[in-house]
Amino acid sequence: MADSEFLSTRQAAQRLGVSLGTVQNMVENGVLDAWKTAGGHRRIPASSVDNLLAKRRKQISRPGEQGGQLDILIAEDDPTLQKLYQITFDSWKLPITLRIVGDGFEGLLQVGQQMPDILIADLMMPGMDGFEMIKRLRAMPDLSPMDIIVVSAIDGAEVRQRGIPADVTVFGKPIPFHEIKGFVLGRLAARQRI
């Protein structure tokens, strides 16, 4: 195979619009195929990166077509709140698929594998916090159809001052499940009109 058929980790990161660390994690989690050179450098088949991009574009052109389910990703580090989200969302009996991660880095990985219809994020998390995760996600134009909701104990004005974009919905804690349910129902209703 020709050298151009393989990408370095840096080249793959640039093509995907993500960080080096995200690409390394995608390789370790089997999202991207790769092999190591004798010198220990990763080489990623360009076809593996292109397939991931094509999958992302397909999801964007037909958002939420996972069997009619609304895909919701929650990034929250508190195990008690994770369980509360799970129990509450299950009790709604709505056509939703719920994925829960504990930090922003894992959130980026999950979005890279499959873009959710809605991302609900805490801001104060270990490792990569919600501010950094949202900044990186909003820097990728193909992900603009994804709705982002912030649920944080930080004051709304401070959240905006710290760079959360205006298109992100911000709620305070405790988790306002009534408002979130209304948001989800609105998204489901919009899908049925398409």
Q: Quick one: which of 122, 108, 98, 94 has its CA closest to 16?
A: 108
Cα 97 to Cα 95: distance, rounded to the nearest angstrom: 7
Enter the tokens of residue 46: 């360009």
| Structure-token match 């805490």, residue found | 122
Report the pLDDT averaged over residues 47-56.
Answer: 78
Asked if residue 50 has pLDDT above 50, the reply is: yes
Residue 153: what pLDDT? 92
Q: Is the pLDDT of residue 191 over 90?
A: no
Structural domain containing residue 51: 3-59
- Retrieve residue 69's tokens: 């389910």
Whether residues 40 and 77 fall in one domain: no
Predicted pLDDT of residue 3:
54
Same domain, residue pair 55 and 74: no
pTM of model > 0.85: no
Q: How many domains does the chain have?
A: 2
Residues facing 148 on adjacent strands: 119
Q: Which residue has the tokens 């990034």?
A: 75
Same domain, 67 and 55: no
Q: Are 42 and 10 in contact (CB under 8 A)?
A: no
